[in-house]
Amino acid sequence: MKLSTVFFIASILLLSFIWGFTIFSYSNLPEIVPTHFAVNGTINGENHKNTIWFLPAIGTFIFLLLAGIPRNPESPMLNVPQSYRNKEKLKVFAYSILFVILLLLADTVLEGILIAQGELTEMSNAVFFLLVSLFLTVGFHIFKMIKEERRETLNLKN
């Protein structure tokens, strides 16, 4: 199985979890839920429980956006090296970033709902680990693209 397929299936499962957990937990939520957290994980903003639907909606939008990137590798809107303009490389690029973003959203939804239900008192430090993972994933792809762009430039000059 290709790496891109693994990332894509995992992303579908994460998005399904985000929606499923939100739908399942919605009726048990209090009318006012935490919607914003300080850096240390404590609650510093609350709103009506209907706002809990924003994160699944954002996750779905990002999923549709990043899942559509590999459909047209020759799009002038893609600012990637020529060597990245094949479907498999674009799929690995888009789906690996999508996976980490959805993992971050899933953790935020899970912990936010558990805090609203009184099962947790504050956000864990998992968010920081996931943010670092996101930056490392994006940084890896940028580094790889720069390296391939230089190689393409050197090949054109020779």
Give the angle 134-35-22 at the CA atoms, nearest 5°.
75
The domain of 152 spans 3-157
User: Could you tell me the pTM of the whole model?
Assistant: 0.89
Q: How many domains does the chain contain in total?
A: 1
Which pair of structure tokens corresponds to residue 97?
């970033």
If DSSP states are collapsed to H, E and C, what string results for the chain? CCHHHHHHHHHHHHHHHHHHHHHHHHCCCCCEEEEEECCCCCEEEEEEHHHHHHHHHHHHHHHHHHHCHHHCCCCCCCCCCHHHCCHHHHHHHHHHHHHHHHHHHHHHHHHHHHHHCCCCCCCCCHHHHHHHHHHHHHHHHHHHHHHHHHHHHHHHHC
Write the CB contacts of 48 (distance below 8 Å, at least 6 apart in sequence). 31, 32, 33
Cα-to-chain-centroid distance, residue 92:
14
What is the chain's pLDDT, residue by residue, as a tens digit (158 residues)? 899 999 999 999 999 999 999 999 999 888 888 888 888 777 888 888 899 999 999 999 999 999 988 888 888 888 887 777 888 889 999 999 999 999 999 999 999 899 888 898 888 889 899 999 999 999 999 999 888 888 877 777 65
Residues 71-114 have pLDDT tens digits of 888 888 888 877 778 888 899 999 999 999 999 999 999 998 99
> Radius of gyration (Cα) for the chain, nearest Å?
19
C-alpha 109/C-alpha 68 separation (Å) is 24
